[in-house]
Amino acid sequence: MYKPLRGIIPATPTPMTEDGSIFPDYVPTLMNHLVSQKVQGIFACGTTGEFASLTVNEQIRMLEAFRDATPSGISLIAHVGRGSVAEACEVSKAAARMQVDRVSIAPPHYYKIGDARMLTEICARVAESADGLPFYYYHIPALSGTSVMMRDFVPLAIKAIPNFKGVKFTNENLMDFMSCVDEFGECAEMIYGRDEMLLAGIATGADAAIGSTFNYMAPVYAQIMQSFQNGDHVSARRWQARAVSVIRLFSRYGGSAVTKAMMKIVGVDCGPNRQPLRNHAKEERTALKNDLEKTGFFEWRNGNEL
């Protein structure tokens, strides 16, 4: 029976060996770590999973590894986006065959999409390839370049895509986000995707969130959600400020390239990044760890009050 997404859902990295090959055999170790963090779902092979640097076959193989390692009770969302619509349909069909729980797609990103109807047509093709699996559009205009407002897209998707369930909204435009929640919330789940703004996303209607920093401090975000739901806004702001104190460091260490360095620091070595993302030398990881210690990260990252 279909259930809407709820809670904290990490966007997982793709484990790799030192030579840059995919490392599906490491996925169970990564999954054990995430289960210990009490996450509610997994978003595999997305931005954090370096999908744009994977071949079609590699993406399918990694989705299989996540499918095999994901325990009952945790929802596996397979990101099937590719640079071409045809390849996205191919990965979507494979995801359906392996019986993942849900699929999602970021749009093709070289030729920018500025029209809601074209975006709907593309999503409809990929969603149809998923053989009825719940389908979510991945809205990340900063990287995809697709500037379509979700207020324009969502009603078209609801009408045109039978298995459309919602949007992973990775953007700062809370007016657009809240408009979708208020107008289409009964038909479309709006899942927030800006870790540093989760509290604002919850305040404007999010019941679930997907983010990269959830891989190593998921309990912090669970505290934000629980505190807000309990009406303790002071506590919610305190936990959000702690998350921000870590995220603020990342501009010094390569932005999105920092995820695997952070995972290594917390004891879950997912290997190197592929180019064009850079990797961190041991000295840089030591400096990052020292900066993290100054924020108190290692004392509160598991949701413990100081």
- Which DSSP symbol is given to 107? P
Q: Which token pair is 219?
A: 């309990």
Burial grade of 111 (CB within 10 A; 0-12, 13-18, 19 or more): exposed
pLDDT score, position 306:
63
pLDDT score, position 193:
98
- In DSSP notation, 266-291 reads TT----PPPTTS----HHHHHHHHHH
> At what angle are helices 150-160 and 116-129 packed, to 10 degrees?
40
**Which entry of 26, 136, 138, 221 is annotated as an active-site residue?**
138
Known catalytic residue at 168: yes
Whether the pTM exceeds 0.85: the reply is yes
pLDDT score, position 99:
96
Q: Which token pair is 33?
A: 């770590």
Per-residue model confidence as pLDDT tens for the chain (306 residues):
789 999 999 999 999 999 999 999 999 999 999 999 999 999 999 999 999 999 999 999 999 999 999 999 999 999 999 999 999 999 999 999 999 999 999 999 999 999 999 999 999 999 999 999 999 999 999 999 998 999 999 999 999 999 999 999 999 999 999 999 999 999 999 999 999 999 999 999 999 999 999 999 999 999 999 999 999 999 999 999 999 999 999 988 988 789 999 999 999 999 999 999 999 999 999 999 999 999 999 999 999 886
Distance between CA atoms of residues 24 and 16, nearest Å:
8
> At what angle are helices 214-229 and 233-247 packed, to 10 degrees?
160
**Which entry of 168, 192, 216, 260 is annotated as an active-site residue?**
168
Find, among 178, 228, 225, 165, the residue nearest to 205 by Cα: 178
Known catalytic residue at 221: no
